[in-house]
Structure 1
Amino acid sequence: MLELTILMPCLNEAETLATCIQKAKGFLARTGIKGEVLISDNGSTDGSREIAEAHGARVVLAPRRGNGIALSTGIAAAKGRFVIMGDSDDSYDFSRLDAFVDALRGGADLVMGNRFRGGIEPGAMPFLHRYLGNPVLSFIGRVLYGAPVGDFQCGLRGFVRDKILALNLITEQLEFCPEMVMRAAMADLKIVEVPTTLKPDGRSRKPHLRTWHDGWRHLKLLLTFAPFSLFLYPGALLFALGSVLFLPLLFGPLDLGALTLDTGAMIFAATFIIIGFQLMWFHALARQFAVRMNLLPTSPRFERLRERLSVESACKGGAVFMGLALIATIAAVGHWAANGFGPIDPGTITRAASLVAVLSALGLQSFTGGFLWGLMTQKAPAQAAVETQTVTAQTVDAAQQV
């Protein structure tokens, strides 16, 4: 097995591809590393494939368009224990990969280049990318995933091939690179950074990257893989804040020094409770889906939740909320009847209506959330059939042994 594969995705890079290959092969020759240069072609029509083969690189063909598709195809086809990947537009120097190899040999699973530490030449990175997009997205990634990475979007990186293949990365476009960092962090892989330089690419055409479109896709990916930060924590905070305000206001205005809270604040508190409860259900459902689809790892805490939460338990909780809502409604109507069905203080009506609305909403959310949870925990027909066949085969084997 080779020690290193230098992988370059390629889509119509005839202007720069030969230079990148020559630098990569020069690095292998200078260091004596047993390796290969691999080009994953993404449907080039400008002769890039022929250029790569003429300069001694191995070429694999991605089945369809997409930077993530090209990279995943190349990683799967790589023969090296380590892979260092980078764009084939001559913006990265493939002749200077020593720091990446040293870090990989030293036990790192993923080695990220950091262009902000290594240097960005004038004109190499658009202003918005350099001072807004990359810093903001990298900050969000560090906060949500705890990844020690200051440049999430850096295209030059090295990794242990088998470790990255085991992550089962799924994105097909430019989000593939940040997904790799996120999933590596969630899998507790050892991630380190090394400074790398970025210079203006050597192409005469516009880059494939679209600032706002791809920036939004990256942000959406960061949030999608963080159901705790996106749903659970905001939901729990809203629910707690709403409850702290709502319960005292049920019995009358709340004086806080110079500030008096009354029915208006109660309506806002009721809204916080309902939205917060819904967000917590969203978290449970999103986490269940992500674990089932192997997008996120499970955890002891989540497994305990799966053992306790079922359609039956959710419906019981919903029935309790709906029962309390019915009791509150009967009490309110009884109070009105005691007053001869005449005019009632607006504050009294608002408090009773808010309580009924909150309890009813929590009940309905529990019913719908429970049924969705039940659907998502059911085995797919194909999976159930396989398990049935396995059990049947084991039973037959046991009978034959007897």
Structure 2
Amino acid sequence: MQHYLSIVIPAYNEARTIHLILDKVKAVELDGGLGKEVIIVNDCSTDATEQAIQSYREGNPGLNIQYYRHEVNKGKGAALHTGIAKATGDYVIIQDADLEYDPEEYNILLKPMLSGVADVVYGSRFMGGNPHRILFFWHSIGNKFLTFLSNAMTNLNLTDMETCYKLFRRETVQGLQLHEQRFGFEPEVTAKVSRIPGIRIYEVGISYYGRTYAEGKKINWRDGFRAIYCILKYNLFR
């Protein structure tokens, strides 16, 4: 029986790039003979994201794409909740619809999982020798502060809690009760996996091809304050 990696892609107004990231997902050959299940959740985009996805599906019947659409915009976290619930693969990885993270690196994250030593693997933008686009000083300071605060609460030693690339055993992530609708997903899921008895969490270095706000980056300072709130909420008030 073939085993699968479920790739969960939340998409909001990504008509310009969704086909490019799907090309990268399609091209990657996964270790361990894994197949690919691509789950796209369109969070009520106002551009041509839906048409771009449907056109790609029609032109690439060999790629297993499951498509879901929110009728109202709920946020990235809500789109991830939908996608995770629909996943049927052995493993689940989060993939943004933009081009900041490279699917060619899935195998880097899968290595400790396929070796049988990990239940959760984070891809860190702040370790390893892979390429990293130089962008915002205060954004990087904010990420490191949020990771530090999260680590202080969870007693983990992550270097990049806010990373998009998080790989889970499906039963692990589907067993969590997740609530955050927007970017609070990251500190919430980190807090909750850290409390699973016997959980084995690994971190590997990845590349990062960041976007500017003019290029479509969506996270802002309000999301940073929400992340602080979520770190405190899901660690202190369980």
Q: TM-score, normalised by structure 2?
A: 0.87
Alignment of 1:314-353 (within 5 A): none
SS at match of 1:55: helix
SS at match of 1:169: coil
Q: Which residue of 2 aligns with 1:116?
A: 126
SS at match of 2:139: helix
Alignment of 1:214-229 (within 5 A): 214-227=223-236
Total equivalences in the alignment: 226
**Structure 1 residues 127, 40: CA separation in 2 closer, same or farther (over 3 Å shift)?**
same
RMSD value, Cα: 2.1
Q: Residue 12 of structure 1: CA displacement?
A: 0.6
Q: Which residue of 2 aligns with 1:27?
A: 28
Q: Distance in 1 between matches of 2:85 and 2:151?
A: 28
Q: Which residue of 2 aligns with 1:89?
A: 98
2:76 maps to 1:67: yes
**Structure 1 residues 35, 113: CA separation in 2 closer, same or farther (over 3 Å shift)?**
same
Q: Which residue of 1 aligns with 2:66?
A: 58
Residues 186-239 of structure 1 deviation map (CA, whole Å, 9 limit, x = unaligned) = 12321110111101339854421112x111111111111233xxxxxxxxxxxx
Alignment of 1:171-320 (within 5 A): 171-188=180-197, 189-201=199-211, 204-211=214-221, 213-227=222-236, 296=238
SS at match of 1:44: coil
AA partner of residue 139 (structure 2): H
AA partner of residue 13 (structure 2): N
Is residue 10–residue 42 contact of structure 2 (8 Å, CA) maintained in 1?
yes
**Structure 1 residues 24, 54: CA separation in 2 closer, same or farther (over 3 Å shift)?**
same
Q: Is there any run of 5+ residues in structure 1 with no aligned partner, and where?
A: 228-285, 287-295, 297-402
Q: Distance in 2 between matches of 1:110 and 1:191?
A: 5
The one of 169, 173, 190 equivalent to 2:178 is 169
SS at match of 1:170: coil
AA partner of residue 181 (structure 1): T
The percent of aligned pairs where both chains have the same amino acid is: 27
Is residue 62–residue 69 contact of structure 1 (8 Å, CA) maintained in 2?
no
1 or 2, which has the higher helix percentage?
1
Q: Residue 50 of structure 1: CA displacement?
A: 2.4
Is residue 121–residue 202 contact of structure 2 (8 Å, CA) maintained in 1?
yes
Comparing both chains, which one has the higher relative contact order based on Cα–Cα distances under 8 Å and sequence gaps of 6 or more? Answer: 2
SS at match of 2:153: helix
Is residue 10–residue 42 contact of structure 1 (8 Å, CA) maintained in 2?
yes
1 or 2, which has the higher strand percentage?
2
Q: Residue 42 of structure 1: CA displacement?
A: 0.5
Of residues 61-70 and 29-38 in structure 1, the stretch that sits farther from structure 2 once superposed is 29-38
SS at match of 1:4: strand
Q: Which residue of 2 aligns with 1:256?
A: none
Q: TM-score, normalised by structure 1?
A: 0.53
Residues 125-178 of structure 1 deviation map (CA, whole Å, 9 limit, x = unaligned) = 421121x21111111111111123110100111111211111111111101012
Runs of 4+, deviation exceeding 6 Å? none
